[in-house]
């Protein structure tokens, strides 16, 4: 807005009073003598920023479900237990009908020895025909993928489809009187996983000239920045953005398999770990649609959990659309919807006609499992996963897991999802921040600026990933 030149008829007043003779006209270039008392005051200026995007930070997910622990190495390694019982799901009978020799096609230990031994009793199941037969192992040669078994209820295993992959598991043993015991033993095989920390950096810089131009602004209340700030307003946003990156790297991280020159090697984030060794469910409430039809999809997930660790309590972190699908699925079970007659069965409304109707559910139980549901802002934000929209949510088991720690040499308990950061007695790289330059109290160089540096070195451990579920489109 521009001022007009002073009219010759204007006379300055000795006191701070508004008079027709001392009023400077605001914005009327066609009539310099125009006086409009409706515009006599300075424009109203809102000092406080308007939070048009709400709280813009998206971090907090890992603080809810995990923990942070120091480490001193370039790599974190942990071992996870394998299944207790002996089973193979890719078994064939190459000799065809009439043959009693089985060949296991599943990956075998380095020794090549099967865990099946002579006198083990087995169940053989043909998934094509649905036929189940039982028998006893008579030959199990060391160093081979073959074993011989005789069928209890048929002359041979001919009722099975010998061209298909047969599933076999051991359910016990059977010995005659007065013979020696079981020959050989079974050594447990541990499955080892590892991850490496990645170095995450950022920087904020302000020149000495800009720092000398004092300007105050009341910033929006966000983590780490509230009230009035000088030129460090931009620094506070850089810090907030960097703290979000610390979490986003742990969620989105990928290992560098292409040996990119400028890459530090990457790190395996949660999404990559679940795609590699977790459960991925695509199209939840898709074909069946929301409401009661989605319950069939959810029951498929429960069957998969039964086949894994069957951990009772689980947390659901979902985007908006999937969270509403879950609400519709649960609400549809109350006598055909959210009818007033059935709403009291949820204990939400206390039969009060003054209570606002609540269409949301934060927790529910299905089968032997408890689920706690919440929105995950990271999946909804239009500047993060909300603009990609192919990850719909994640199911994370609650509690801790027992793992063998290579550094301590013993079993320890850790949250299924936790962060490890580099630290020692003299160096803590969990979240470093320092100032360089010659402005703002720093006198470390001749640079006419203040540089605020941030650094962290960390990685995410996703243990027992077979109990996690990743929802995709």
How many domains, the chain?
3
- Residue 62 and residue 164 in one domain: no
The verdict on residue 250 lying in a domain is yes
Q: What is the pLDDT of residue 124?
A: 94
Distances (CA, A) of 356 to 201, 325, 364: 48, 21, 20
- Confidence at residue 206, expressed as pLDDT on a 0 to 100 scale: 84
> Domain check: are 148 and 268 in the same one?
no
Q: 275 vs 142, which has greater pLDDT?
A: 275
- Find out whether 267 and 249 touch, Cβ atoms under 8 Å: yes
Q: Quick one: pLDDT at residue 303? A: 94
Write down the mean pLDDT value for the chain: 80
214 and 244 together in one domain: yes
Helix then strand then coil, % of the chain, to nearest 5: 20, 30, 50
Residue 347 lies in a domain: no
Report CA torsion sign: 119, 123, 128, 130.
Answer: positive
One domain for residues 120 and 265:
no
129 shares its domain with 149: yes
More confident residue, 320 or 55: 320
pLDDT at 349 over 50: no
Show which of 148, 175, 202 is a domain's final residue: 175
Q: Does one domain contain both 35 and 92? A: no
Q: Is 395 part of a structural domain of the chain? A: yes
In a domain, 184, yes or no: no
Q: Specify the higher pLDDT residue, 186 or 429.
A: 429
What pLDDT sits at residue 137? 95
**CATH (domain of 105):** 2.40.30
What pLDDT score does 348 carry? 45
Asked whether 460 and 417 are in contact (CB, 8 A), the reply is yes
Range of lowest pLDDT (135-149, 295-309, 391-405, 416-430): 391-405
Q: Which of 175, 201, 231 is the last residue of a domain?
A: 175
Query: In this predicted structure, what is the pLDDT of residue 334?
Result: 56
Note whether residue 126 is domain-resident: yes
At 123 the pLDDT is 96
Any alpha helices (H) in 253-335, and if so which ranges?
270-277, 294-307, 320-331
Mean pLDDT value of segment 79-92: 86
> Are 160 and 203 part of one and the same domain?
no
Tell me, yes or no, whether 140 and 223 share the same domain.
Answer: no
Is 416 found in the same domain as 391? yes
Do residues 362 and 446 share a domain? yes
Dihedral in degrees, nearest 10, Cα atoms 253, 255, 260, 262: 50
Q: Are residues 54 and 164 in the same domain?
A: no
Integer Cα distance of 196 and 77 in angstroms: 9
Residue 181 lies in a domain: no
Q: Which residues contact 65 (CB under 8 A, 6 or more apart)?
A: 315, 317, 396, 415, 417
Residue 319 pLDDT: 94
Q: List the structure tokens of 76.
A: 């974190």
Residue 348 located in a structural domain: no
Q: Are residues 448 and 460 in the same domain?
A: yes
Residue 355 confidence (pLDDT): 47
pLDDT of residue 310: 86
Phi, psi of 306 (to 5 degrees): -60, -35
**Residue range(s) defining the domain that contains residue 102:** 87-175
pLDDT at position 229, please?
A: 52
Does residue 132 lie within any of the structural domains? yes
């Amino acid at each position: 807005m521009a001022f007009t030149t002073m009219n010759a008829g204007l006379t300055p007043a000795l006191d701070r009073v508004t008079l027709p003779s001392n009023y400077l006209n605001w914005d009327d270039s066609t009539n310099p003598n125009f006086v409009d008392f409706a515009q006599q005051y300075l424009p109203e200026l809102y000092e406080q920023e308007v939070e048009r995007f709400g709280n813009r930070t998206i971090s907090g997910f890992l603080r809810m479900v995990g923990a942070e622990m120091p480490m001193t190495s370039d790599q974190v390694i942990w071992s996870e237990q394998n299944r207790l019982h002996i089973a193979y799901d890719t078994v064939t009978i190459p000799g065809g009908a009439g043959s009693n020799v089985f060949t296991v096609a599943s990956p075998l230990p380095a020794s090549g020895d099967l865990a099946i031994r002579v006198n083990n009793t087995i169940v053989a199941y043909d998934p094509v025909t649905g036929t189940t037969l039982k028998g006893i192992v008579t030959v199990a040669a060391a160093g081979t993928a073959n074993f011989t078994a005789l069928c209890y209820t048929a002359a041979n295993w001919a009722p099975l489809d010998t061209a298909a992959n047969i599933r076999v598991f051991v359910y016990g043993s059977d010995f005659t009187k007065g013979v020696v015991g079981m020959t050989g033993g079974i050594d447990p095989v541990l499955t080892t996983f590892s991850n490496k920390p990645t170095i995450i950096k950022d920087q904020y810089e302000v020149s000495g000239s800009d720092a000398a131009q004092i300007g105050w602004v009341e910033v929006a209340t966000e983590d780490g920045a509230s009230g009035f700030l000088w030129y460090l307003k931009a620094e506070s946003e850089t810090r907030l953005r960097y703290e979000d990156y610390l979490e986003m790297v742990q969620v989105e991280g990928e290992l560098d398999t292409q040996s990119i020159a400028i890459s530090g090697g990457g790190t395996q984030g949660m999404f990559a770990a679940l795609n590699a060794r977790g459960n991925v469910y695509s199209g939840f409430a898709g074909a069946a649609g929301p409401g009661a039809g989605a319950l069939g999809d959810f029951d498929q997930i429960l069957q998969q959990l039964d086949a894994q660790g069957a951990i009772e309590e689980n947390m659901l972190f979902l985007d908006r659309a999937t969270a509403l699908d879950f609400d519709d699925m649960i609400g549809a079970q109350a006598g055909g919807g959210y009818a007033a007659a059935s709403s009291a069965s949820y204990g939400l409304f206390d039969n009060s006609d003054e209570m606002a109707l609540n269409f949301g559910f934060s927790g529910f139980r299905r089968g032997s499992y408890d689920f706690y549901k919440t929105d995950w802002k990271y999946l909804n934000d239009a500047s993060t996963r909300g603009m990609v929209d192919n990850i719909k949510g994640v199911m994370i088991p609650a509690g801790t897991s027992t793992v063998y720690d290579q550094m301590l040499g013993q079993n320890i308990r850790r949250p299924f999802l936790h962060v490890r950061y580099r630290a020692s007695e003299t160096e803590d790289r969990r979240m470093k921040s320092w100032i360089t330059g010659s402005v703002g109290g720093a006198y470390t160089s001749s640079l006419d600026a203040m540089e605020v540096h941030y650094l962290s070195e960390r990685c995410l451990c996703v243990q027992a990933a077979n109990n996690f579920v990743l929802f995709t489109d």
